[in-house]
Amino acid sequence: MKVAFVSVVPSPYQRDLFRALAARAEVELSVFYLEAAAPDSPWPEKALAPYETILRGTWLPLGAARCHVNWPLPALRNYDIVVMNTLMSLTGQWLMRTSLRGRPWLFWGERLSRGGALHAALAAPLHRAGGIAAIGSVAEDDYRARFPEPQHFRIPYYCDLTAFRAAPRRVRDDGRVVFLFCGQMIARKGVDVLLAAFQQLGQAARLLLVGREAELPALLAPLPAEVRARITYAGFQAPEELPRFFAQGDAFVLPSRYDGWGVVVNQALGAGLPVICSDMVGAGHDLVEDGVNGLKFPAGDSTALAQQMERLVSAPELLEKWGAASREKSRDWTPEVGAGKWVEALQAVLQQ
Q: Where exactly are the structural domains of the chain?
A: 2-159+334-351, 162-330
Query: Counting beta carbons within 10 angstroms of the beta carbon of residue 237, is it exposed (0 to 12), middle (13 to 18) or buried (19 or more)?
Result: middle
Instruction: For domain 162-330, give the fold.
Output: Rossmann fold (3.40.50)
Instruction: For domain 2-159+334-351, give the fold.
Output: Rossmann fold (3.40.50)
Q: What is the pLDDT, as a whole number, of residue 251?
A: 99
d(CA 276, CA 269): 11
Q: What is the pLDDT, as a whole number, of residue 114?
A: 78
Q: What is the pLDDT, as a whole number, of residue 137?
A: 98
231 phi/psi in degrees, rounded to 5: -115, 130
Q: What is the pLDDT, as a whole number, of residue 190?
A: 99
Q: Which residues of 258-291 are buried (b: 16+ CB within 10 A; e: fewer)?
A: ebbbbbbbbbbbbbbbbbbbbebbbbbbbbbbee
DSSP state, residue 38: B
Sheet holding 294-297, edge to edge: 231-233, 205-210, 177-182, 251-254, 275-278, 294-297
Longest Cα pair distance anywhere in the chain, in angstroms?
63
36 phi/psi in degrees, rounded to 5: -80, -30
Q: What is the pLDDT, as a whole number, of residue 172?
A: 79
Residues 210, 205, 273, 282: is their CA dihedral positive or negative? negative
Distance from chain centroid for Cα 131? 21
- 2-159+334-351 and 162-330 share one fold: yes
Q: What is the pLDDT, as a whole number, of residue 260?
A: 96
**Antiparallel, parallel or unpaired: β 57-62 and 65-70:** antiparallel
222 contacts: CB under 8 Å, gap ≥ 6: none
d(CA 16, CA 83): 17
d(CA 145, CA 131): 14
Average pLDDT for runs of 10 along the chain of length 352: 98 96 98 92 88 96 86 97 97 98 97 86 97 98 98 98 95 90 98 99 97 97 97 97 98 98 99 99 98 99 99 97 98 98 99 92
Q: What is the pLDDT, as a whole number, of residue 205?
A: 98
| Element containing residue 324 per DSSP (H, E) | helix 317-330
Q: Is the peptide bond prior to 74 cis by the omega test (within 30 degrees of 0)?
A: no
